[in-house]
Amino acid sequence: MSRFCLFPGTFDPVTLGHVDIINRALPLFDKIVVGIGENISKSPMFSAAQRMEWFNEIFKDEPKVECAIFEGLTINFCKEIDARFILRGIRFVSDFEYEKTIADANRTLDRNIETIFLTGEPKYTSVASTIVRDILKHGGDASPFLPDAVIKSLK
């Protein structure tokens, strides 16, 4: 049985923290689908197509990583792509409390899909898309938090 995993998020923009989680999860799964969720309650800074382009560039040499855009419930998208695992990155204890609530709800909706938590590398704990967007909106240099593919496209 294949170990397919969904790593869902808005990734607005893609950060080094996101890339770190994916790279460390690669040995655990046969395939990781980065699911860019389109959330009607959020107004993203970057289009879903742009975020997908970044992931495709970053992982162009990694056949185990694919990217897709989805709407609706994460658990439903897992079923659509046959993912038996949901990958989530944890930076702080507060992240875990929030993510555990979502994982519990997902487990109630489908007991066959398990959520896996990976803690971020300490050097990336301050990297949050919200902070990066704020830096960018105010003309600051967000490059210490971003992969090269993102930095190049922002110039």
Any catalytic annotation for residue 18?
A: yes
- pLDDT of 93: 85
Q: Where in the sequence is the domain holding 25, given as residue range(s)? A: 4-154
Residues 62 and 32: their CA atoms lie apart, in Å, by 10
**Number of folded domains in the chain?**
1
**CATH code at 27?**
3.40.50.620
Any catalytic annotation for residue 138?
A: no
- pLDDT of 1: 64
pTM, rounded to two decimals? 0.94
Q: What are 155's two structure tokens?
A: 């110039």
Of 2, 43, 79, 91, the active-site residue reads 91
Any catalytic annotation for residue 31?
A: no
Mean pLDDT by 10 residues, the chain (155 residues): 92 96 97 92 89 97 97 96 96 89 97 96 86 92 94 89
- pLDDT of 73: 95
Of 24, 31, 41, 42, the active-site residue reads 42
